[in-house]
Amino acid sequence: MLDDVKSMNELRDKIRVLKEEKVRDKNALDVLTMRNTEVEEVVKKTFNIIEGLKNENGKLTETFFESLDRRYGKLRVSDVKLGESTMPLMSEDPSNCGNTEVEPNLGASFAVKDEKDVSGHELENDTWEPVSLQRDEDTHYSVDTGTCQSRKKGNKEGAVGAL
């Protein structure tokens, strides 16, 4: 009987130890459950923030493309107008020998920088010698014109690019 009491006490000790371990494990499990709940809340908040950022990014992208469309739409219109205004110049008959006199397009305007009075200068070169252009302060190089003669020497009407 003594052995039975002794084994009974050992079993009670083991049960007490197991209950203590169970309580510790339960406490650890409760802590893990709370941490898991906190992590799930953080994940939900993060997903909400990501969704908000995606929506904002979509709105900003749409606004950006609308701005680009307006900006380059104006550029396309200007390009078409410029193409229409230069079309007569580009379609001139080459047998015209450079005569590009056309009616000016009043719709197109060009900015002119530093207009100079050239009324006192002779615009025609009667000697058919190369004419050296005067160097301007803004110009870094000078250009000599060719002889501008047609195949028939001295034919001013057939000259191409005469000044």
The Cα-based distances of 160 to 65, 72, 77, 90, 155 in angstroms read: 48, 38, 34, 16, 10
What is the torsion angle, in degrees rounded to the nearest 10, for the CA atoms of residue 63, residue 67, residue 70 and residue 74? -170
Number of other residues whose CB lies within 10 A of the CB of residue 97? 14
Rounded CA-CA distance 60/79 in Å is 28
pLDDT (mean) for 1-15: 87
Average pLDDT, the chain: 74
Q: Is residue 162 packed enough to be buried (19+ CB in 10 Å), middle (13-18) or exposed (0-12)?
A: buried
- pLDDT, tens digit (0-9, with 9 covering 90-100), for 63-114: 999 999 888 888 888 888 888 888 877 776 555 555 555 555 555 555 555 5
The per-residue pLDDT for 141 is 47
pTM greater than the 0.75 cutoff: no
The per-residue pLDDT for 133 is 53
Rounded CA-CA distance 102/121 in Å is 25
